[in-house]
Structure 1
Amino acid sequence: MRMNYYSASPAGLKAMLDLQNHVHKTAQEGELSDGLLGLIYTRVSQINGCAYCIDMHTKDARKAGETEQRLYALSAWRETPFYTPRERAALAWAEANTLLAGNGIDDALFEATREHFSERGLTDLTLAICTINAWNRLSISFAADAGSYQPA
């Protein structure tokens, strides 16, 4: 790792962790499952090329019961039958919110995603996507050691 960003900005990282904790609390309340979050975190990390986060989230997903098949096929989720319509909506929303530059979010995608999530659910899903994008940027910028993460 290039530097310990946790010790460099403890208040900033506390704010990030507070948002992360909110997202996980929402997952526990049922609107977003930990399994869905694991897929979202992994897919966004794949798009961003964050090796540390891909390693972390696939390990956590396996520990939570996710199948190897679904993890391996995640980068090609559109071409496989392994994901539910709700998961597909969330993955499309995650990709669009990660690849915003020059693309935006059109009304059709919003409406298609909204069919599967309440207003709070869609807001919290978007917060989860924002959070993993931020973690990816921190991990990539400061060269977090891929492979070093061990699930609790």
Structure 2
Amino acid sequence: MSKRIDISTVQPKAVQAMMGVESYLSTTDIPVSLRELIKLRASMINKCAYCIQMHAPVALAHNETEQRLLALSAWEESPLFSETERAVLAMTDEITKISDHGLSDETYQRCLTLLGENVLAQCIMQIIAINAWNRFAVSTKMVHEA
């Protein structure tokens, strides 16, 4: 694998800006376990090994189970996720793959009903943020140290 630029060195203000979003997200009403499911699911779709390796241990440290993490790649078929988690995972899939069909009205309405406006907005921001981090890591071929 060829070495690519380290954006944090070349453009530290860009990373500071991203960290500002992360700081905001740490204050939201989204439960940590759901935040980590969002991060892991989007990272799986985007094939971002760096972010998967970063967030799996965090999820496990917040009482997520290995079984649910393994089932996350096929969450639609798994009975291990709650109605709210399933709605948010559907939204994560649709926003992450936004160019396919966008965020459907059905998924949006289901999330709005289950989460309310504030947490819905927070979840959308979390999905946007992890997708940005995935693109950051994948485009520069970042490697997570084991």
TM-score by length of 1: 0.90
Q: Distance in 1 between matches of 2:76 and 2:53?
A: 22
Residue aligning to 2:20: 18
| Segments of 4+ moved more than 6 angstroms | none
Q: CA RMSD in A?
A: 1.2
Cα offset, 1:131, TM superposition: 0.4
Could you tell me which runs of 5 or more consecutive residues in structure 1 were left unpaired when the two chains were aligned: none
Q: Distance in 1 between matches of 2:64 and 2:20?
A: 26
Alignment partner of 1:101 out of 91, 99, 102: 99
Q: Distance in 2 between matches of 1:102 and 1:62?
A: 31
Q: Distance in 2 between matches of 1:102 and 1:77?
A: 19
Q: Distance in 1 between matches of 2:48 and 2:78?
A: 23
SS in 1 for 2:98: coil
Alignment partner of 1:79 out of 77, 80, 84: 77
How many residue pairs are counted as aligned between the two chains? 144
Overall identity of the aligned pairs, in %: 35
Cα offset, 1:102, TM superposition: 3.2
Cα offset, 1:3, TM superposition: 2.3
Residue aligning to 1:37: 35
Higher helix share: 2
Question: Do the aligned partners of 2:34 and 2:85 also contact (CA within 8 Å) in 1?
Answer: yes
Could you tell me which runs of 5 or more consecutive residues in structure 2 were left unpaired when the two chains were aligned: none
Residue aligning to 1:120: 118
Cα offset, 1:106, TM superposition: 2.2
